[in-house]
Structure 1
Amino acid sequence: MSTESPPPLFERMLGMLEPAQLLAWAMSHYIRVCSEAVFQNGQLFAPITQTRRLRDEAFGRFWIEFTSPRQMSSDPTNTEIPEPVGSSALIPPLLRTATGTVLDIGPGTGTQMPLLTSPSITALYGAEPCISLHSTLRATAAAAGIASKYHILPSGVAASDLLPALRATNTGVVDQYDADPRAGIFDTILCVRVLCSVPEMERTVKELYGMLKPGGRLLVTEHVVNPWKRAKGSLLGRIVQGVYQVLGWSYFIGDCCLDRDTERVLRGVADVDGGWESVELESAFEWSAMPYISGTLVKKMV
């Protein structure tokens, strides 16, 4: 449920434009990458024949810039990391509760790494398919002092990709799961701004649920389709989401979808076991084009 009151009308209208700024930013990186391929590298047909590679490279550059804590600072000598605002403020209190063997889905550049240094975390596995982000992610883990227990997986989160990558770490993390899938693998799975872009989300979430240990927790902060039929939802916000999708949001921003009903999928995936042990999800920014859900879902014990 949401306890948030909508801001004044002018602020709501400005909020509808926030995705446009991100889209223009991502598009500028794509144009730059395509220009480099054609004019610097002489790959005249790369924008046609190597579209996937160029999109990945452009998104990687955009994401590194976007997730830099000081990317909005006009003072290059300012090394102080600003206090998170907006949707970013939902993340720290949630991630600080992570324990045990943790799967971090789509960690990007590792912006969240400082929140994952608790001694109660015994091992971290970061599934990041964008290879161009790995060097930054590796450096961030080292800077946070957790390089020894942080394992980068060059894979997506579909079981067909993730399980072989986990086995390749030679840490034995999947041994018990291979012997009995009901045992699960992870004590905590982190889903932060990532389920919007995974292919076949419903199947993927089901597979992730199967990898949770009994009693394990799924920690979620995700932007979702605007719940416009609810009292605090917005029909305008839902329409604006559709407009951005048509303008190429998914194409330029790493296959992200603004209109996924992620909450419905998350709640329903545990029906096979009679539901979750507990679900504590809060809604935020339901008036906007980027409403969020944030909270914890706990798997039932066997």
Structure 2
Amino acid sequence: MSSEAPPPFRERMLGLLEPSQLMAMAISYYMRVCVEAVKRGEVLAPITQTAKIRDEAFARFWIAFSTARAAAPAPNAPETSTITEAEGPELVGSAALIPPLLRTASGVVLDIGPGTGSQMHLLRSPAITSIYGAEPCVGLHAELRAKAAAEGLEAKYHVLSCGAASSELLPALEATGTGIVDAHNRDRSGVFDTILCVRVLCSVPQMERTTRELYALLKPGGRLLVTEHVVNPWRTVKGSFLARAAQAIYMMFGWRYFIGDCCMDRDTEGALRRAADQDGGWESVQLERSFGWSALPYISGVLVKKTQ
């Protein structure tokens, strides 16, 4: 458990309003894309092509947001900064949870929902042999490939146009021609030594099923590295009823629709723990909770699959 103390009352109240700024920014990009479609003569696009409109709007928003966060990191934002301790100010808020975890990644790595690749600078360890980035938002792929090139990871990093579900992920892996899934297809021995879930399980469809499938793709002894915002544990001493109410309000007013299917109210920790039930549980689970006073409380840590 995290021992971090809540900030003063005024800062807690301001923190509860922080998601509204992100939502307003996302809505503005959505409206721009709708207007542009209408100007192109696609008058009904906002009604008949909602998936396309949402994908393009979210891609633009996320690129702009990631760039802004890289320049000025802020507490508890749902995307990490690319500034490292040696390059700029010390990371604060949820961004500080990520580097210690990702720097332990090794072997064959699956990076779920890497977005624009803002965490890629943490994956340059020689212990990593290859990285597969499963990013369903095609509009982010150019930024992701550019980031891989900038970090010298072009040869290691494979961009996949899919989500985390096995029905999408396995065909995408086979299409790379690397033979990475051959052993798994033959004897279900697993594929990855490390799987990264950083601010992504909030938006995957069918989270319970997805976490079980990710567990199955881990090799024996494989590690799942997690930093995720979750439903506020308001019934516990660490939680906040006010923050839980704020989550419900944001969801009611369209947070999920405008923020890439993100859900504020998922019991991600419970789903992760249950993912290994078929094998009698994980070898070890080391998860900490942080920011229980906020609308974006986090869990972070490592889950290790049994070797036998």
TM-score (norm 1): 0.95
Answer whether contact 1:100 1:121 (CA < 8 A) is retained: yes
Deviation at 1:272, TM superposition (A): 1.2
**What residue number does 2:190 align with?**
184
The reply to whether residue 164 of structure 1 matches residue 163 of structure 2 is no
CA distance in 2, matches of 1:248, 1:85: 28
Q: 1:188 to 1:70 in 2, by over 3 A?
A: closer
**What residue number does 1:47 align with?**
46
**What residue number does 1:32 align with?**
32
For the residue of structure 2 that corresponds to 1:178, the secondary structure is helix
CA distance in 1, matches of 2:25, 2:93: 19
Q: Describe the superposition over 1:69-97 as per-residue Cα deviations: whole angstroms up to 9, x where unpaired.
A: 44549xxxx9x655422111111111000
Q: Describe the superposition over 1:142-189 as per-residue Cα deviations: whole angstroms up to 9, x where unpaired.
A: 0100100100000111000000000000101001101111x1000000
**What residue number does 2:121 align with?**
114
For the residue of structure 1 that corresponds to 2:275, the secondary structure is helix
**What residue number does 2:80 align with?**
none
Amino acid at match of 2:63: I
Instruction: Please tell me the root mean square deviation across aligned C-alpha atoms, in Å.
Output: 1.3
**Which residues of structure 1 form unaligned runs of 5+?**
none
CA distance in 1, matches of 2:173, 2:88: 33
**What residue number does 1:208 align with?**
214
Q: 1:196 aligns with which of 175, 198, 202?
A: 202
**What residue number does 1:61 align with?**
60
CA distance in 2, matches of 1:159, 1:49: 29
Residues 233-248 of structure 1 mapped to structure 2, 5 A cutoff: 233-248=239-254
Residues 1-302 of structure 1 mapped to structure 2, 5 A cutoff: 1-39=1-39, 41-68=40-67, 69-72=69-72, 82-181=89-188, 183-302=189-308
CA distance in 1, matches of 2:100, 2:93: 14
Structure 1 stretches of 4+ with a deviation exceeding 4 A read none
CA distance in 2, matches of 1:52, 1:96: 35
Deviation at 1:22, TM superposition (A): 0.6
For the residue of structure 1 that corresponds to 2:286, the secondary structure is strand
TM-score (norm 2): 0.94
Deviation at 1:4, TM superposition (A): 1.2
Deviation at 1:274, TM superposition (A): 1.1
CA distance in 2, matches of 1:52, 1:254: 10
Amino acid at match of 2:25: W
CA distance in 1, matches of 2:174, 2:198: 24
Amino acid at match of 2:55: D
CA distance in 1, matches of 2:89, 2:47: 40
Deviation at 1:232, TM superposition (A): 1.4
CA distance in 2, matches of 1:201, 1:8: 34
Answer whether contact 1:232 1:286 (CA < 8 A) is retained: yes
Deviation at 1:212, TM superposition (A): 0.3
Q: Describe the superposition over 1:218-255 as per-residue Cα deviations: whole angstroms up to 9, x where unpaired.
A: 00000000000111100111111000000100000000
Using the aligned pairs only, state the percent identity: 67
**Which residues of structure 2 form unaligned runs of 5+?**
74-82
Answer whether contact 1:70 1:81 (CA < 8 A) is retained: no
